[in-house]
Structure 1
Amino acid sequence: MNNTLLKKQRIRYFLMNMLAFAIIFLTLGIVMIRLVTTNIYKETDQSLINMSEKDDLIQQEIDRLSGKDNNLTQTPPPDPTGENLFNSQIILWSKDGTILNNDENNGRLAQLTQLKLDKSNLNTVNSLEVSSESGSGSFSFHSITKKYTNSDNNQIAYVEFLVNTNQVTQTVKTFQTGLIIAMFISWIISLFISYYLSALMMRPIMKAWRKQQDFVENASHELRTPLTIIQNKLQSVFQHPDQTILNEAESIALALNETRRLSILTNDLLTLARGETNTYSLDLIEVNSQEFLNQLVTPFREIAEKEQKTLILTNTLSQLVMIDKEKIHQLFVILLDNALKYTTSGDTISVTSKRSGNDWLLEIANTGPSIDKSAQQKLFDRFYREDTSRSKQTGGYGLGLAIAQQIVHLHHGKIKTLDLQPQGIIFQIKIPLTK
């Protein structure tokens, strides 16, 4: 993966994260402003509706207009500074849109030069923004206009109820401004987070790419050697057409041997590839661990005896285990074959099987050479061999332990290595006993 492609991919992730954060903040801001605006005017609108339903308030304003009650006409004088003095007000409108009760309110409504009669939205709460007469500011109102149907006063055609919302509106604007500033700052911070996340998202891609590159290089290297040997031997046979099969038996046998090695290698690679693409399905059955391990260990015990080694099986697990019998058999073959390869005459190989909590605990230990901690962490990597020269002598490709780890993971288990004192190594496996 070249640097240009890597840079483009990282920029793409950065833009995706940035856009995602922008959408989240924008949606959150709209929802919060909507909720605040709806709830903050709720009490004001309800009080306005209640006021519009009280006929006695309308009658009081009509009495004030007609001068029937002198006490009602004694309203406070207007503020000389021109500021708004009222929070709620009843306006009596004529048919032509003239305010009838302006004088009775000592000219307080005269401040609202742009207030007009709106007949289009009767009996509903509406928002109004009206400029003052002096032009020094504007007033915010919520209002309800109702048609006046009482025939006692022919001058009055409509009644409008006003509630001043200047303070509430200013509070909403302050909240909106503060929210926008906070969202903008948060979005700027999110840009840095997006840049970091884009780098974080590239890590598994780079890791997978490096893993793939290593796999291709190692596989190519392992395939090249046997293919070269086979090619050379076949060319040698064709260079001597007069030779009999018996005379070329060594070359043919060597070519066949390398062909078998290629077959094993390709099968191992196919096994790993299937495991990584989740195309493997386990055939789980209940197995008696005593019988299963005894049958499995017997041929390896015979091989160990011929090589003057000791193989010990200790099994204290008496219950049935739910496993894929073929896969676990392959797991033991890999580990026991590995133990036999890297031990010498007089060494001991021990297989321990027991219950540990809800797990089937298996330990395959050998008293062969110990392995460094740094090397233990790489043992399950594909094509890794601690001692390359020794592995070539034993015919290993470094795929066995990777397959073993894959089998354990397919059973939702864990495998790790431990040091055996004073010398040796232990492969410890835990497989859940629950179905």
Structure 2
Amino acid sequence: MRKKLTKINLAVMGVLCLIMVSGTYFVMRTVIFNQSQQLLQIISSQAGSPVLNQNIRHDHHVVRYFYVKLDKTGNILERSPEVPIPEGQLSALLYSVEIRHTSRGKIEFDDDSYSFLKTVAPDNASDLIAFVSIDHDQDTLFLLLITLSAVGLFYLLLAYFGGRFLAVRALKPIMESWQKQKEFVADASHELRTPLAVIQTNLELVKGNSDETVANQMKWLDYISLETQRLTRLVNDLLFLARADSAEILLDAKELSLAEVVEDTAGPFRPLAEQNGIAINLTDLENVRIFGDENKLRQLVLILLDNALKHTPAGGMINIKVLQHGNGGQIVIRDTGEGIAPEHLAHIFERFYREDKARSKQTGGSGLGLAIAQWIVQSHGGTISVSSQLGQETVVTVTLPGIMKTRL
């Protein structure tokens, strides 16, 4: 893909350079031709006049010119002094002009280039053909073409290396995204394979004891039920993130009390926390009103509290605050749990990332909860941050605006 992008960029730059070189060359050639025609007009109008100087200067160089008067039968009546062409060859030159059947143009004769103009002489009784040497102009155009071609090749060389550099820069986020996608697919496959393997194993145990009653095999059936529930949660989380990535999830926004959302969601966690010897304290619940999706915000608080409970040992405490922050609000959840190591802190919102995968298996975590939480916060135009001291505490701070910043 990098080579293809480089080739495309080089091709585009090549076409642009070709247009620039060709356009500049043809414009200059037209300008020079028009200037020579203007000189021929002057020569034709002043032919035979002493005012006409044999050495006309044009663009800082002397222009060689001459003219010839012809009668209606083509015989030479008069010619300018110092004609650079011998008498015998002059007739051949005039014949070459006559057979062109055009009144103006360019002609090559005896290794020289001339621009000519055929008009009626000032006496209206004869024809006049004026010639101007354009050898200098031809040399100028050739030098211009060589210069433009060299500059074009130089820019193409720059475009090649610049294209390679830009291709690498352009592909870097794509490569990172592709790598994350590969990791995501690998992690998802691994997460799905484990519960499926447990279900398969327990089903084989049940089928192998077909004579046993359901009550006698309830242990295996319970394992199947637990893994099925875990598999269902995992599939639902994967579906949520997939729909979020494709912008298929729209928020149902309305004005609500952030404190009420937090308090109502935290209530059902109290019995489970008390059963595990953990205290949940709701303090500083300020009356903050925001616009948001109530169901998604409840899901956000549920994910954060579930994480706090899983990583807080018996005797620990979870403190929840809702504070006014500008025209919006903040949710601050602090737990006195095991904390997060600094090297893991920057990765906790990555999908399937878990600090201790063995422990996560025991607690039923899949590493998708915080990724979903981050999406919910960002879709509300807010921010989420985590600070932690290993072995002491973890603080999650969610900041939500009072007015939605994104389309709901």
Answer whether TM exceeds 0.5 for this pair: yes
1:176/1:85 Cα in 2 relative to 1: closer, same or farther (>3 Å)?
closer
Q: Which position in structure 1 is the counterpart of 2:298?
A: 329
2:97 match: secondary structure: coil
1:422/1:223 Cα in 2 relative to 1: closer, same or farther (>3 Å)?
closer
- The answer to whether 1:101 aligns with 2:72 is no
Structure-2 separation of matches of 1:233 and 1:376: 37
Q: How far off its partner does 1:184 sit?
A: 0.9
Measured against aligned partners, the alpha-carbon deviations of 1:212-251 in whole angstroms (never above 9, x if no partner) come to 3322322222222222222222222222222222212222
Q: How far off its partner does 1:388 sit?
A: 1.9
Q: Which position in structure 2 is the counterpart of 1:146?
A: 119
- The answer to whether 1:179 aligns with 2:148 is yes
1:375/1:37 Cα in 2 relative to 1: closer, same or farther (>3 Å)?
farther
Q: Which position in structure 2 is the counterpart of 1:311?
A: 281
Q: Which position in structure 1 is the counterpart of 2:15?
A: 23
Q: Which position in structure 2 is the counterpart of 1:350?
A: 320
1:128 match: secondary structure: strand
- The answer to whether 1:130 aligns with 2:99 is no
Q: How far off its partner does 1:346 sit?
A: 3.0
Q: How far off its partner does 1:268 sit?
A: 0.9
Q: How far off its partner does 1:257 sit?
A: 1.4
1:33 match: secondary structure: helix
Q: How far off its partner does 1:98 sit?
A: 5.3
Letter in 2 for 1:255: I
Q: How far off its partner does 1:298 sit?
A: 3.6
1:373/1:37 Cα in 2 relative to 1: closer, same or farther (>3 Å)?
farther
Is contact 2:105-2:117 (8 Å) kept? Answer: no
1:260 match: secondary structure: helix
Instruction: Tell me which moved more, 253-262 or 286-295.
Output: 286-295
Letter in 2 for 1:21: M
Instruction: Tell me which moved more, 252-261 or 296-305.
Output: 296-305
Structure-1 separation of matches of 2:37 and 2:330: 71
Is contact 1:140-1:169 (8 Å) kept? Answer: no
Is contact 2:323-2:331 (8 Å) kept? Answer: yes
1:246 match: secondary structure: coil
Is contact 1:413-1:431 (8 Å) kept? Answer: yes
1:209/1:107 Cα in 2 relative to 1: closer, same or farther (>3 Å)?
closer
Instruction: List alignment gaps of at least 5 residues for structure 2.
Output: none
Q: Which position in structure 2 is the counterpart of 1:279?
A: 248
1:21 match: secondary structure: helix
1:366/1:330 Cα in 2 relative to 1: closer, same or farther (>3 Å)?
same
Structure-2 separation of matches of 1:186 and 1:77: 41
Instruction: List alignment gaps of at least 5 residues for structure 1.
Output: 1-8, 79-83
Letter in 2 for 1:139: S
1:130/1:301 Cα in 2 relative to 1: closer, same or farther (>3 Å)?
same
Matches within 5 A, 1:367-378: 367-378=336-347
Give RMSD over aligned pairs. 3.7
Is contact 1:417-1:426 (8 Å) kept? Answer: yes
- The answer to whether 1:256 aligns with 2:236 is no
Structure-1 separation of matches of 2:205 and 2:171: 50
Is contact 2:114-2:134 (8 Å) kept? Answer: yes
- The answer to whether 1:188 aligns with 2:166 is no
Letter in 2 for 1:29: V
Is contact 1:310-1:346 (8 Å) kept? Answer: no
User: Identity rate of aligned residues, in percent?
Assistant: 29
Instruction: Tell me which moved more, 411-420 or 175-184.
Output: 411-420
1:101 match: secondary structure: strand
1:291/1:182 Cα in 2 relative to 1: closer, same or farther (>3 Å)?
same
Task: Output the TM-score relative to the length of structure 1.
Answer: 0.75
The number of residues matched between the two structures is 393
1:94/1:287 Cα in 2 relative to 1: closer, same or farther (>3 Å)?
farther
